[in-house]
Structure 1
């Protein structure tokens, strides 16, 4: 699926983040606990340098708790990274962010100067709601639709911390094709930027393998089909997503599946694991190497020309004749 959603305000926001990052002491990156890798903006990692970062796995109440624990261990294996889980139904846990930032920036906190913290996150990850909880007042506009915040602002959240709020941004090119589907399935992109059927098939394929019992129970199926298309057809019949003539409305059932996934009605589910990502990264490197090799071959073929064996023989004879003529001319000058 081709995801085309990097509007002008995102380009501007990413540029502002890069320009402001030198002024901050710590980065706070809000991730979706269901897709910690796919919701992590690689552009932020590139400009972070050696600054400490607190990664917040938000929407923890929607994610598989066992896999979230694995993700925290995986993320904290990187130097300078700390993690915490938060959810909108547990504001008290969100308050721990202030003490964690103070502890990470203990030297700055001990001085009279404020700790400058930049908070980033992809669209619809819950960043604005989190800011309002930390500030204990309505500061950031919230909404279920991605890209509500449009410009950068600074907020004093108390505890000696000034928060640089930034708009939710994706990045210009998403290298991992699986991440495109996960971002769409989790609701990080607008409905108009994705194809429900395409994303629904991807989500169904993953969910019947990773959470078979949850899918069987939610869609009231006696047996779980082996393939995504069979599952969607069975789920459509269970939910009455049937068109005239008894045909299955695949678009409708895909829409139902994604809506219930995003709302948590399917249960606490995580769409990727650290082991999956390690394997996908290996595959991405192999694909990039193959692409580079294919490009080199095409370039060489273009350089050589599309010669048949007969034409190649004639070309070689002409080259040899020119070389012989060149040698005779040099000898004649002596």
Structure 2
């Protein structure tokens, strides 16, 4: 399966970000903690060079705890400020204001020397579709000031949000890069829901996930579905077992592979399979 998804509004969003970056002191980039590298847009490094940078490992509650720690160290070594967060519950959010002040202390000091007082830090919030930017802004601001949705690409225009006297946020639409050079990146993004399911082969995706879980998190499928994960079994046989055990059937009692695949993907995305990370820093 070839993974590509680049709606027209994303080209426009990139141009808009290029125009706005000169107004910005800090780039806050949200990545999905389950795929911290695959969920980064390389364009953002180019757009945000010479700016202070904060990476938020969002949905950290769905990712492997030990992997979160490794990824935090990985990005810190590259010179980024890093924080694990769960935008929905608010976990990790209290630390962000202090990190923003620390990341922009040189800018704040320059302003002070010029006699400019209380000019808020202007931060641009960026990230690929469905990574949780709007939920982060709403939780951070304490009110629903940015649209949220569980479909990729809900935020279509830019908006400034004044959080307090110290910080202003610029929300931007989620942008993916036009072409994935590595199809494994596209596959991981499809797994977490950053590419529209309607253009994907969900059965193929489920088989890839089964194969990965057997290797990286053995016993996970057995625990959730009471199916056997024997080494000699093919991924398709495990999917068939899940379909049987969960009653995924069509008329005539035939197995409904599509339904079983959607069940598996939904269970992974919602954390019902446990805390799972799909890539590690060693692979970077």
- Once the 2 structures are TM-superposed, how far is the Cα of residue 158 of structure 1 from its aligned partner? 1.3
1:11-160 equivalences under 5 Å are 11-79=11-79, 81-91=80-90, 93-110=92-109, 111=112, 112=117, 113-160=119-166
The answer as to whether partners of 1:118 and 1:164 remain within 8 angstroms in 2 is: yes
Distance 1:39 1:50, change over 3 A: same
Q: Distance in 1 between matches of 2:204 and 2:165?
A: 46
Distance 1:92 1:246, change over 3 A: closer
| Secondary structure at the counterpart of residue 91 of structure 1 | coil
Q: Distance in 1 between matches of 2:204 and 2:57?
A: 27
Partner residue of 1:234 out of 232, 238, 241: 241
Match in the other structure for 1:199: 205
Match in the other structure for 2:264: 257
Indicate the structure (1 or 2) with the bigger Cα radius of gyration.
1
| Secondary structure at the counterpart of residue 143 of structure 1 | coil
| Secondary structure at the counterpart of residue 163 of structure 2 | strand
Please give the root-mean-square deviation of Cα atoms over the aligned residues, in Å.
1.7
Partner residue of 1:212 out of 201, 218, 225: 218
- Once the 2 structures are TM-superposed, how far is the Cα of residue 107 of structure 1 from its aligned partner? 3.0
Q: Distance in 2 between matches of 1:77 and 1:92?
A: 24
Query: How many residues are aligned here?
Result: 276
TM-score (norm 1): 0.78
Structure showing the higher helix proportion among its residues: 1
Q: Distance in 2 between matches of 1:5 and 1:122?
A: 11
Q: Distance in 2 between matches of 1:238 and 1:250?
A: 12
The answer as to whether partners of 1:208 and 1:224 remain within 8 angstroms in 2 is: no
CA deviations over 1:251-307 (Å, ceiling 9, x no partner): 22111111111111111111111123x3xxxxxxxxxxxxxxxxxxxxxxxxxxxxx
- Once the 2 structures are TM-superposed, how far is the Cα of residue 222 of structure 1 from its aligned partner? 4.5
